[in-house]
Amino acid sequence: MNEAVKPEVAERAAPAIPGEAPAPETSPDRTAKPGGRRLFGRLTLVVAVAAGAIFAWQKIENIAPAPNEGVSSGRSGPPPQTVRVAPVMAGDMPITLDELGTVIPFETVTIRTQIAGKLMELGFAEGQMVRKSDFIAQIDPRPYQAALAQAQGQLAKDKALLAQAQSDLGRYEMLSKQDSISKQQVADQQALVAQDTAAIATDQAMVQTASLNLDYTHIVSPITGRVGIRMVDPGNYLQPSDATGIVVVTQLDPISIVFSTPEDDLPRIAARLNSGAKMKVTAFDRANVNQLAVGALTTYDSQVDVTTGTIKMRASFDNPNGALFPQQFVNVRLLVDTLTGVALAPNAAVQIGPSGSFVYLLNDDGTVSKRDIVSGPTDGKLTTITKGLAPGDEVVIDGVDRLKDGAKVRVVDNAAAEAAQGQGQDQAPRRHFSGGSGGEGAGAEGHHHHHGQGGQSGGGSSAPGGSPPAQAAPAQ
């Protein structure tokens, strides 16, 4: 490249020879290109500066407040932060424990045969509800009927022998008094009578056993409940040692739920239960959406599970519709106690800081102040405030992320914000915190609405009964 430049420099530096015509320029395009590039760069710079100016002007116009939303004359600084507030209410707060539980029947019986024999008949349909003493199954009774008849015959025979022995004993005792027979013969007869008496007692036991075995051939339900799927069919030979029974009967109403709670909750639960209080237990489905049944806590286990640090508890439920099914997993909510007449604040108002929980309290002058609080039990919507707030206080629930202690705010609600967007800027101004005159729409006289900001017009104030905001003339 250096070699290509040097000849050109030499040619430009060489003096002109008199009498000779100057050499023609061989590359006029090379001298024209640099000028064109500079012109293009200048145009590009001008366009970029113009675009930046337009963009900055648009941003300034967007930031500038509308004529009817500007701050009052003589005031400067950032506009007030728009927030929503809610009052602190006095109410009741239930103290509940949410746990996982399993539906456990009070009684579950596997029907088995107590004697050996052929299964002749089943007296139920699978899934049927049966009552106590309803017929379940029939074992072949004929062998046991024969055994009962045999035992009864032996009993009758031994009774006859006893009667004969007693009659002989009476004669022997009379003859013994007359010294007609020896006393040894009388003693032997007395022993024979005792033997026949013992034989009769044995025969009576055999009769009872045979009668009982005969009763066992007719199987009935020992409880009221629902029968499941049968485990054996008629025609099979059953024995008491069989691993499976005939069918399982499960009690459904009433029914219980067994669940575990941390051992730390036991003292309070035990105190309430031992005092005779009826502790409400609500059962929900596995998705924790649908309520299945409402019952009461019955008892708790006798020891804590050392592996989990929990203790089992049982609750009883009436289950006439079968909403709770054995071995079903459910969500359990135990109502331990209820705090009455406490201060309740919305959960959205409670913030967590380095020093603990706090809220932003709305002041009468349209500012907020940071207030440290002590919170208690909470539910899905409200939190108990044990210290720092009183019923009637208003706390910020929306827009709290950019607040600080002493900040000026403008209070609105969702309904007013939507109305302001739909109706433009022609609505009546609200009552201002700073003491300025508020809008006096229909039905709004004499009421202090903690909405808006000092010296600034906001959305219209809603009239009682949900009527639309009253229209007012623009402020002069």
Say what the pLDDT of residue 40 is: 77
Is 308:100 a contact under the CB 8 Å cutoff? no
Closest Cα to residue 198, out of 161, 151, 169? 161
Q: Which two tokens stand for residue 133?
A: 């003493």
Residues whose CB is less than 8 angstroms from the CB of residue 240 and which lie 6 or more positions away in sequence, other chains included:
112, 113, 114, 115, 116
CATH number of 81-90+341-409: 2.40.420.20
Q: Structure pTM? A: 0.60
187-217 per-residue burial string, b: 16 or more CB within 10 A, e: under 16: eebeebbeebeebbeebbebbeebbebbebb
Say what the pLDDT of residue 17 is: 45
Each domain of the chain, given as residue ranges in start order, spans 81-90+341-409, 108-139+223-250, 141-216, 251-338
Q: Which two tokens stand for residue 307?
A: 């592996």
For the chain, the residue count is: 476
Is 463:444 a contact under the CB 8 Å cutoff? yes
Pick the CATH number of 251-338 from 2.40.30.170, 2.60.40.10, 3.30.70.100, 3.40.350.10: 2.40.30.170
For 108-139+223-250, give the CATH class: mainly beta
Say what the pLDDT of residue 459 is: 36
Say what the pLDDT of residue 455 is: 34
pLDDT along the chain (476 residues), means of 10: 42 45 46 62 81 74 47 59 92 92 96 95 94 96 96 95 92 87 90 94 96 96 95 94 93 96 94 92 94 95 94 96 94 92 92 90 91 89 91 91 88 62 43 34 36 36 37 36
Say what the pLDDT of residue 61 is: 52
Is 189:182 a contact under the CB 8 Å cutoff? no
Say what the pLDDT of residue 229 is: 95
Residues whose CB is less than 8 angstroms from the CB of residue 217 and which lie 6 or more positions away in sequence, other chains included:
115, 117, 138, 139, 140, 141, 144
Sign of the dihedral through C-alpha 259, 263, 264, 270 = positive
CATH number of 141-216: 1.10.287.470
Is 183:154 a contact under the CB 8 Å cutoff? no
Cis preceding-peptide flag for 429 (omega within 30 of 0): no
Say what the pLDDT of residue 273 is: 92
DSSP annotation of 349 reads G
